[in-house]
Amino acid sequence: MIDRGRLPRLARAEVRFDARGPLAGDPGPEAAVAAHLEWLGRAQDESATGDGGVARHFSLLDGWAASYPETTGYIVPTLLDCSRRYGDEALENRAARMLDWLVSIQFPGGPFQGGMVNEEPIVPVTFNTGQILLGLAAGAEHFGRPAYLDAMTGAADWLTRTQGADGAWRSNPSPFARPGEKAYDTHVAWGLLEAAGVSDNESWAAAALANIDRALTFQRPNGWFASCCLNDPARPLTHTIGYVLRGILEGYGHGGDPRHLAAVRQSADALVDAQREDGALPGRLAEDWSPAADWTCLTGNVQISAVWMMLARISGDTRYLAAARRANRMVRRTIRLDAPPGIAGGVKGSFPIGGEYGRFQLLNWAAKFSIDANLMEIDVDPVAS
């Protein structure tokens, strides 16, 4: 239960806003993308560590956080995509600043740390290295700079060296998540696939596909994944469900294995059935796909929207496209365009803001994934968007 009287003024105002209902009007995909890009720019400029990375979040309790290497890494491809789309050199420059910072904090041998840059323990972490690899691969391809290519190679080689024979990563877990193997390491595999695409290194691609095959062993007959959450595998977040599905789908895009597509569709179909009329998914889902939270994880909504969009393109099934549009619209309606700088254009961890995930925070990766999903929607029908 939230004690509103003890919250700072900004947090109290946002709790009232979220409780007011109905949600705000839909600004549309183009306006949402523009607002998110501005917010991410502020998150880079206002990071508490001022190092070129992107602040993990803006907190309604204590302001801008320190830079977060993991998500700064996968924000890079989004900024480079938008730079090309809109002819915006400033976005390209921002991406280069992020990459320069990431290269500067890489451990000898190729890995990267977990958590925010100022969090302890500072140790190599598999998952975070895979997410940063997505940015290094995009940077190496876009800029052609040896420093980015070398960093990409080091990270990819380290991931393949530390992988088990069965495709799993068991060493170098995150100290900020529950111990144990994670099905959503397929999002690490995606990083290896992107690096393989830049360097034509089939050993990296083989390692990625081995992990994706391993992840399929965690899928239950109804499409639900075990071992697929940061801290509560009995009630996985839609965020981590989005991770596992995107990684498997990227594996299908690389190798064309029909098992990979079938696995994603099985889960995606169940998620369509779990979607509420307003477009939201429960923030957590139980093993039978029933709601396990009374709040929604906005990040998970747009991640799964992107998966649905990709499936619609692959399969031609219009159910996926309709579900994706509903999810995007729901998240867009939570965005504040006319608000204080830390809030305007950002995406909350949970809706309402007091929900369990990213409580009282606007998260940098939520804005990134919302941009990606909205760009996919624009690409489907630019006129309607």
Residue 344 has pLDDT above 80, yes or no: yes
State the Cα angle at 196 between 191 and 197, rounded to 5°: 100
Task: Report whether pLDDT(385) > 60.
Answer: no
* Any domain includes 345: yes
Please check whether residue 362 is in contact with residue 356, taking contact to mean a CB–CB distance below 8 angstroms.
no
Q: 108-135 pLDDT, tens per residue?
A: 999 999 999 999 999 999 999 999 999 9
Give the residue from 105, 133, 166 where a domain finishes: 166
Angle between helices 126-143 and 146-161 (to 10 degrees): 150
> Which one of 106, 131, 166 terminates a domain?
166
pLDDT band at 4 (very low <50, low <70, confident <90, very high): low
Clarify whether residues 229 and 97 are in a common domain: no
Side-chain half-sphere of 91: how many Cα atoms within 13 Å? 22
In a domain, 171, yes or no: no
Give the lowest-confidence range in 18-22, 39-43, 333-337, 361-365. Answer: 18-22
Do the domain assignments include residue 134? yes
Q: Cα–Cα distance between 199 and 328 in angstroms, integer?
A: 34
Assess if residue 83 is contained within a domain.
yes
Q: Both 385 and 246 in a single domain?
A: yes
- pLDDT class for 23, splitting at 50, 70, 90? confident
* Domain presence at residue 22: no
- For 102, the domain range is 45-166
Domain shared by 147 and 233, yes or no: no
| CA dist., res. 186 & res. 192, Å (int) | 10
Residue 21 has pLDDT above 90, yes or no: no
Say if residue 235 is in the same domain as residue 133. no
Question: Which residues are 285's β-sheet partners?
Answer: 291
Does 351 lie in the same domain as 227? Answer: yes
Asked if residue 271 belongs to a domain, the reply is yes
Q: Is the pLDDT of residue 383 over 60?
A: no
The answer to whether residues 144 and 223 belong to one domain is no
3-state secondary structure of 350: strand
Does the residue 174 lie in any domain? Answer: no
Give the rounded percent of residues in the chain with a pLDDT score beyond 70.
97
CATH number, position 231: 1.50.10.10
Give the three-state DSSP class for 363.
Answer: strand
pTM, 2 dp: 0.97
Domain count, the chain: 2
Establish if 54 belongs to a structural domain.
yes
State the amino acid at position 167 in one-letter form: G
